[in-house]
Structure 1
Amino acid sequence: MNANIDQFVAVTGASARDAKRFLEKYKRLDVAIDAFYGDPNALASAQRSGVSTTKITQLFDQYKDPLSGDDMIAVDGTIRLCADLGSDPADVVWLAVAYELKSPSMGAWSRKGWVDGLKRLNCDSISALQNVLVQLRQKLSQDPEYYTQVYNYTFEFSRQPGQRSLGLDDAQGFWALLIPHGLQGGALAHVQRDDDVDMTGEEGWKEEHTQWWLDFLNERGGKGISKDTWQMFLEFVRSIDSKFEKYDAEAAWPSTIDDFVEYAKARQAS
């Protein structure tokens, strides 16, 4: 759905909200686009709300690092941007913004990613971006597919240059932001397996399990988290039962997760 929304917005210039509305009604992308162009009210609304590439570029230049030869907004510019938005730089929503604007690294933004991303979000001012932050925070909390996309992108953009794994401290910090947010809104709702005998009333990952995971990683030590462990952990959180009884140790889980299940069972029994 998200890919179709992006394409609908790119073709029509409509808002993401209107794109979703037409796609949910007409199902197919081509049919939805035809219906949009056949609706004079929707077309007029899109024309009125069209964003200005010039304004988006000016906004980029306002926060661009003037001392750097790179055409980038760096960390200092991002801090100023957050101050103008009244937003905490450590808010989980900035991981969604990083995904939307294809941030190349933490706290940095390229001109192309900035312009393309804000056009897609129908946003060309600070006030519009404030509204977008509210929308993205809600979407990240409630939309499982979108949550997965942001979660996976977080690993990619936050690694140190040349490193295949994500630093342990960074990984723990991101998990501490992402997991509670997804649990709160339902994006990390428990998914029961088809082979479960009882498919009703099963509880999944609980809030305290996130702290258990972080405690386990601290006790275990190590320098980093592999991409495989990062991605599989998300599936694990969505599928594991609250008592860790249905964990399949014979499945292809990373050894870190195998060890954590034993740790969690022992902690529950104590």
Structure 2
Amino acid sequence: VPSRALAMKRVKGVFARKSPGPSTPKFAEQLWDKYKDPKNAESIGPEGVEAFCADIGLEPSDVHILVLAWRLDASRMGYFTHVEWTNGFAKLSASSLPELKAWLERTYQETLHGAKAMHSGADAFRNFYAFAHRYCRDDNKRNLDCETACAMMSMMVSPLYPKHVEQFTAYLMKMNRQHGINQDEWMCFWELCRSVKDDCSNYADDGAWPILLDEYVEFVQQQAKGK
């Protein structure tokens, strides 16, 4: 039966693909020694990150580099400490740069899939999204500047909720909001994307949302009336 033969072929293909094993301390240290700051042996700085990105075939601004920072629990944008690097790599499944690149893609896709499925798997994306706010804001600042926030939303949320991101970033740019977006506003936008229609027709103005999102909904509704 053709369908049975096709199914068996797919099963064989799955087992034929060898999954990479856990990342080894040796692999992590080899990378560390190559990319660490020559003036600070306990840190990989921007130049090292750029060199790493070039070798793995990704731009520093690529979402997969943000995934790496998230899974290494990095505390400062553009930098990795030795502790973050060694502890983080112990949890990865890669022993070469091609395997690491594949692992980053797989992790990203699994995180997106969980968010799209709207089940408990969405928690992973929520954690990823929350991390981005902490990671991308300037040192000692509580808010993320609007320009960076728009870029991060476009990178992270557009694959899931493109219309809300398009409308919200347009609104932020029109407002020219000088003090940026705080963590609560950032996270509430994610919840709004998950629960409110693109035209905001089912938005409940019950005081539970930050004022920023009340004003965003008003903006969307006014835009609709103006068409």
Shorter-chain TM-score range:
0.7 to 0.9
The alignment partner of 1:249 has SS state of coil
Partner of residue 182, structure 2? 226
**2:113 matches 1:135:** no
Among 247, 259, 264, the residue aligned to 2:203: 247
Partner of 1:262: 218
Contact 1:59–1:125 (Cα < 8 Å) also in 2: no
* Residue in structure 2 matched with residue 63 of structure 1 by the alignment: 35
AA aligned opposite 1:249: D
In the alignment of these two chains, the number of paired residues is 201
Determine whether 1:208 maps to 2:186: no
1:97 is displaced (CA, Å) by 1.2
Matched, 1:173 2:168: no
8 A Cα contact 1:102 1:109, kept in partner? no
**1:125-173: CA deviation from partner (whole Å, max 9, x where unpaired):** 2122122122122123212221111100011111211111111111111
Distance in 2 (CA, whole Å) between partners of 1:159 and 1:242 is 28
Residue 72, structure 1, aligned to residue 34, structure 2: no
User: Does residue 164 in structure 1 map to residue 133 in structure 2?
Assistant: no
* 2-structure distance, mates of 1:50, 1:120: 7
C-alpha displacement of 1:262: 0.5
Distance in structure 1 (CA, Å) of the matches to 2:96 and 2:85? 12
Structure-2 separation of matches of 1:111 and 1:180: 33
1:103–1:109 contact (8 Å) kept in structure 2:
yes
* CA shift in 2, pair 1:166/1:140, >3 Å: same
Match of 2:62 among 81, 85, 91: 91
Identity of aligned residues (%): 25
What is the CA distance between 1:232 and its match in structure 2? 0.7
Contact between 2:63 and 2:156, CA under 8 Å: does it hold in 1? Answer: yes
Counterpart in 2 of 1:52?
Answer: 24
C-alpha distance in structure 2 between counterparts of 1:50 and 1:236, whole Å: 37
Deviation at 1:261, TM superposition (A): 0.2
Report the counterpart of residue 4 of structure 2 in structure 1.
Answer: none
Which residue pairs with 1:10 in the alignment?
none
CA distance in 2, matches of 1:180, 1:255: 23
Letter in 2 for 1:96: V
What is the alpha-carbon distance in structure 2 between the residues aligned to residue 242 and residue 117 of structure 1?
37
TM-score scaled to structure 2, two decimals?
A: 0.82
C-alpha displacement of 1:70: 5.7
- How many Å apart are 1:50 and its aligned residue? 4.7
Greater alpha carbon shift after TM alignment, 86-95 vs 234-243: 86-95
Q: CA deviation at 1:113?
A: 1.3
| C-alpha distance in structure 2 between counterparts of 1:63 and 1:80, whole Å | 7
Counterpart-to-counterpart distance in 2, 1:71 and 1:81: 16
Contact 2:22 2:92 in 1 (8 A): no
Alignment partners' CA distance in 2, 1:131 and 1:113? 21
Aligned to 2:14: none
Gaps in structure 1 of 5+ consecutive residues:
1-44, 184-204
CA contact (8 A) 2:142 2:182 kept: yes
Tell me, what secondary structure is at the counterpart of 1:225?
Answer: coil
Distance 1:160 1:209 in 2: 25
2:191 alignment counterpart? 235
Where does residue 82 of structure 1 map in the other structure? 53
Post-superposition shift, 1:252?
A: 1.4
Change (3 A) 1:209 1:52: closer
Q: Does the 8 A contact of 1:139 with 1:146 survive in 2?
A: no
Q: Please provide the CA RMSD for this pair.
A: 1.9
* Deviation readout 1:71-99 (Å, 9 max, x if unpaired): 11111111111110111222112222111
